Structure 1
Amino acid sequence: MRYSSNHKAETRQRIIGEAARRFRKHGIEGTGLVPLMKALGLTHGGFYAHFESKDALVQASLEAAAEQTLERWQAPPAAAPTAVPMPEPATPAGDEPVRAVIDDYLSTRHRDEPGEGCPLPTLAAELGLRGQPSATADAMIEHMTALLADCRLAAGPGDGGIVALAAMVGALTLARAVSDRAASDGILATVRAALQPGPREA
């Protein structure tokens, strides 16, 4: 049976969409092509009619996930609940959209539904370990850092350690994932300079 070009394009998009969810949830190595195609009612052999390799699918899926993520936070959603209610600091009206992004990104919902969330927490580390930095990661980081450019760290008493650790782990993960070496160096240098040891000023 011969299929139209539209059918082939639609099938390709279905594969990308399912792969984008599975890669974010299970990682690249944890996602097999056979179960991926079976979940879509397709054969493993049919995969190669759409992609030359799994790496090609990874790139297409990362681009799709990045686009979905940036659209999600282009118009910030209402703040999502967190595991432990925290008092909200007084926030100037102009900061409300960014506050909404932060709350949604660091919500328990986003934590518990990686298949529908930002690909960076799952895929950045794996891309770095695979030695396959991505220009798509570069674009995502550029967009998100521009959005969060005016944020400041405001750790409470005794909270500086977890904030510093999260910043260091995140910086190293992102630095390994980006394809631009200068940008990678910049991530490390910027976070290194921002983290100053010693007691906080009163």
Structure 2
Amino acid sequence: MRYALDRKAQTHQRIVKEASVRFRRDGIGATGLQPLMKSLGLTHGGFYAHFKSKDDLVEQALRLAVDEAKAFTRETFTGPDSLSEFIDVYLSSPHRDESGTGCPLPNMCAELGQLNQPSPLTDEIIIHLLDAFDEAQQIENPEPKSMLVLSSLVGALMLSRSVHDKQLSEHILKVTREHVKLHISKQDTAEVPLQSTVTDEIPLNT
């Protein structure tokens, strides 16, 4: 009996983990239950032995994605250059390309916002990241900069994933990385120059 319960718990976790990847990579609406279960060697009918509905799975899968993101943040923010290092990782080509295992915010904001179905998990990960950014800056009143950094990171990542031209995608990541890091290096936001320090022209293929 104990073995059967353990096996069911393991299967349940496999479904949640795979769904968490697919929801981030493909979107919640585009992820069907039958293909999801089939990819794990399970039947569609078996789904309801684990979850009340797809919404139940969505909640658990997003919970896992948020917990993974929070764990990564805690592991990353351990030194004086943590915020700069986090920016480099967040706005990197691997993070752009591996959406299924990356930060859940871009997909959560785009899809749940469009459906007018905001989730408290979105609030949770935003507050967690802002707190980490605040602490890493070690300045008086860091919250405005932290909010700007987070908005810039999520927005740039979404843009870089949306464009067809890979050179333009890389340029979006590079420019945002450099300007956000420049911004947090200034003690006063008024000191941040408006002109670009990135001399590369935007690479547009015609």
What are the residue-to-residue correspondences of 1:64-103 with 2, within 5 Å? 64-76=64-76, 95-103=80-88
Task: Please show how residues 68-147 of structure 1 align to structure 2 within 5 Å.
Answer: 68-76=68-76, 95-147=80-132
Mapped partners of 1:97, 1:12: distance in 2: 35
Q: Deviations over 1:177-197 (max 9, x none)?
A: xxxxxxxxxxxxxxxxxx99x
Q: Residues 17-66 of structure 1: CA distance to partner in whole angstroms, max 9, x if unpaired?
A: 00000000000011111110000000001101111111111110000011
User: Per-residue displacement from partner, 1:117-169 (whole Å, max 9, x unpaired)?
Assistant: 0011112211112222111111100010111123787xxxxxxxxx99x64x8
User: What amino acid maps onto 1:47 in structure 2?
Assistant: F
Partners of 1:52 and 1:65 lie apart in 2 by: 20
User: 1:72-121, CA deviations, whole angstroms, 9 ceiling, x for partnerless residues?
Assistant: 121118xxxxxxxxxxxxxxx96311111111111111000000100111
TM-score normalized with structure 2 length:
0.64
- List gaps (5 residues or longer) in structure 1: 78-92, 154-162, 174-194
Query: For residue 115 of structure 1, what is the amino acid of its counterpart?
Result: G
Structure 2 CA distance for aligned equivalents of residues 94 and 115 of structure 1? 27
Aligned residues: 150
TM-score relative to the length of structure 1? 0.65
Flag the structure with higher helix content. Answer: 2
Instruction: Point out 4+ residue stretches in structure 1 off by more than 6 angstroms.
Output: none
- Whole-Å Cα distance in 2 between the matches of residues 94 and 64 of structure 1? 26
**What's the offset of the Cα at 1:200?**
4.1
Q: Does the C-alpha gap of structure 1 residues 104 and 49 become closer, same or farther in structure 2, counting only changes over 3 Å? A: same
Where structure 2 has 5 or more consecutive residues not aligned to the other structure, the ranges are 159-188, 196-206
Corresponding residue for residue 46 of structure 2: 46
**Aligned partner letter, 1:18:** E
Q: Secondary structure at the match of 1:28?
A: coil
Written as runs of structure 1 = structure 2, the 5 A alignment for 1:1-202 is 4-76=4-76, 95-149=80-134, 150=137, 167=152, 170=155, 200=194
**1:178 match:** none
Q: Is the 8 A contact 1:24 1:122 kept in 2?
A: yes
Task: Tell me if the contact between 2:73 and 2:132 (Cα under 8 Å) persists in the aligned partners.
Answer: no
Equivalent in the alignment of 1:176: none
Superposition RMSD in Å? 3.2
